[in-house]
Structure 1
Amino acid sequence: MKTFTKSSLIISTYNWPEALRLCLLSVKEQSVLPDEVIIADDGSTSHTFEVIEAMRPTFPVRLVHVWQKDDGFQLSKIRNKAIAMSSFSYIIQIDGDLVLHKHFIKDHLELSKPGTFVAGSRVLMNQQLSEKLLRLQKPSIDLFERGVRNVCNRFNVTWLSRYLADRYKPQDIFALRGCNMAFWREDLVRVNGYNECFQGWGREDNEIAVRLFNSGLRKRAIKFGGIVFHIHHPEVDRADCLENEEYLTYALRHKSVYCSQGLDQYFDVVNQVEHAENALSI
């Protein structure tokens, strides 16, 4: 049996427990499981906590819930907190409004390579199909099921995925989505994770890609593999996007490799938690 790199799957969520449950059900059906799942919760109510606790007893790997107080859209901050809590060398990052193809984790791990990070895409589902899956809590989509857009993204073709990995828009920082990316943990530490100046929707994923590029990494694309199906929902408020565009422009112009307001501020807290857990176990 092939040995895979140990991985942490980080799932960001906010107040959509039905979608998160469906996402977690699709994680349970993976052909290769991650070694832990960390829920990066940007201030959800107790309903999300209840879903996680109900699934925990039968979940096949360690399931961690990292929560922060609801203070507006703080995705960069909660992702940093989740990264700091992660235990393994490879981090796969998704959102909680996705249903994963059964080979999603396997595809990502097979494409992992030192000196690179990986950017994936998504298949968009319409409202009718999304509501059906949520109602039935059905964590899989038939190959030719109606109700999806960008149809080419739904096909899993291993040889084509490998061929395109270093050929599909390798320098394009906009050809990526934060809902489907993967990194070596040490590379995230080197650039200090996500820039928490980014608040509200948008561009935090492009900006971290800029810093990873500037630190010497290459981008690999995961096409025809690493497939995720996006559950339909209204678009979020993009009022802060102009300010976030300015932060992205700054990183491009100044060839940034590090952000001052990032991941490093959470490591002391994680160490304190680990010491407390160790003391309780003695």
Structure 2
Amino acid sequence: MSGAAVRISVAVITYNWPSALALVLQSLAAQSELPYEVIVTDDGSQPATRALLEGIAPGYPVRLVHLWQPDDGARMSRARNRAIAAARGDYVILLDGDMVAERHFIADHHAFARRGCFAQGSRVLTDAGLTRRMLEESAPMPGFFSRGIERRRHTLRLPALARWYARPGTKQRGIKSCNMAFWRDDLLRLNGFNEAMTGWGREDTELAIRAFHAGLLRRELRFSALATHLYHPTRKHVVGNPNDLIVDDTRARGLVRCELGLDGHLAEFAQPPADLRPG
């Protein structure tokens, strides 16, 4: 288990959904254990996202950073790598900008952080109606008996059972970077996400495969580090995704580092990016 001195950076990726991002940031500000910093890494949003961040920054309880890159198609790998390069924490939690964190989310990730491992969290799925209510009312994460959810078991925080599920292993199914965490120095060793992968999906699976090749193990965070996914249409069932070919190549060649990755952004963030909070 990690020590109390670990600094945690949360890298929140977003694109043109400021109302969802506002709820996510609100949930991170209300944590029982606050992170060291929250880095919003923006894949080309319109100015409304920046306006939101500037509006909440004065009262935000931790360091708040906004990284923006031009909108040139879906470049999630690049956006996440920029956040990792900019991070000043020892441990980086990857969170999507449509994932509302339960109040012990950071504390749970901290508790299950272990050297030689990365952590894979889960999520509660909401329908369109519940998502609309959550956004309109700034409602908290739903409970087990709430209407409009799928994967109801992921509303349950059960620490004893969570410890059983978190035994390190090499399971490759269910990898999703919407709720995932790595030691930052492990991400540097892997060279982060593969920026040859653009468009929808599979960049998280490819990263995890390289992590396994490097000898890292996966800790499954069930019944802990809870988060609720806000509904939106998905491209999950894309047929003939070219990113699948990159995944297959990574697996076949036993790669640990990607060629086009995190190291391309380290010089840009040799100095810490600005904290949006005044003073």
Conserved? CA contact 2:144–2:155, under 8 Å = yes
Is 1:231 the equivalent of 2:230? Answer: yes
Deviation for aligned residue 1:239: 5.0
State how far apart, in whole Å, the 2-side matches of 1:190 and 1:237 are. Answer: 29
Matches within 5 A, 1:28-177: 28-166=29-167, 170-177=169-176
Deviation for aligned residue 1:237: 7.3
SS in 2 for 1:269: coil
2:277 alignment partner in structure 1: none
- The residue type paired with residue 232 of structure 1 is Y
Matches within 5 A, 1:12-27: 12-27=13-28
Whose helix proportion is higher, 1 or 2?
Answer: 1
Is 1:5 the equivalent of 2:14? Answer: no
Q: Give the alignment's TM-score, normalised by structure 2.
A: 0.93
SS in 2 for 1:268: coil
> 1:175-203 CA deviation, whole Å, 9 max, x = no partner?
22110000000000001000001000111
Report how many aligned residue pairs link the two structures: 272
Deviation for aligned residue 1:241: 5.7
Structure with bigger RCO (C-alpha 8 Å, 6+ apart): 2
> 1:64-87 CA deviation, whole Å, 9 max, x = no partner?
001100000000000000100000
Conserved? CA contact 1:11–1:40, under 8 Å = yes
Deviation for aligned residue 1:254: 0.5
Conserved? CA contact 2:142–2:155, under 8 Å = no
1:45/1:7 CA distance change after superposition, 3 Å = same
Conserved? CA contact 1:201–1:237, under 8 Å = yes
Conserved? CA contact 1:8–1:35, under 8 Å = yes
- The residue type paired with residue 106 of structure 2 is I
Percent identity of the aligned residues? 39
Query: Which segment is superposed worse, 188-197 or 146-155?
Result: 146-155
State how far apart, in whole Å, the 1-side matches of 2:179 and 2:240 are. Answer: 20
Task: Give the root-mean-square deviation of aligned CA atoms.
Answer: 1.7
State how far apart, in whole Å, the 2-side matches of 1:32 and 1:164 are. Answer: 22
Conserved? CA contact 1:100–1:229, under 8 Å = yes
SS in 2 for 1:226: coil
Deviation for aligned residue 1:144: 2.5
- The residue type paired with residue 147 of structure 1 is G
Deviation for aligned residue 1:142: 3.8
Deviation for aligned residue 1:4: 5.2
SS in 2 for 1:270: coil
Query: Which segment is superposed worse, 150-159 or 135-144?
Result: 135-144
1:263 alignment partner in structure 2: 262
Conserved? CA contact 1:201–1:240, under 8 Å = no
State how far apart, in whole Å, the 2-side matches of 1:241 and 1:94 are. Answer: 27
Structure 2 gap ranges (5+): 275-279
SS in 2 for 1:161: helix
- The residue type paired with residue 202 of structure 1 is G
Deviation for aligned residue 1:166: 1.2
1:280 alignment partner in structure 2: none
- The residue type paired with residue 125 of structure 2 is L
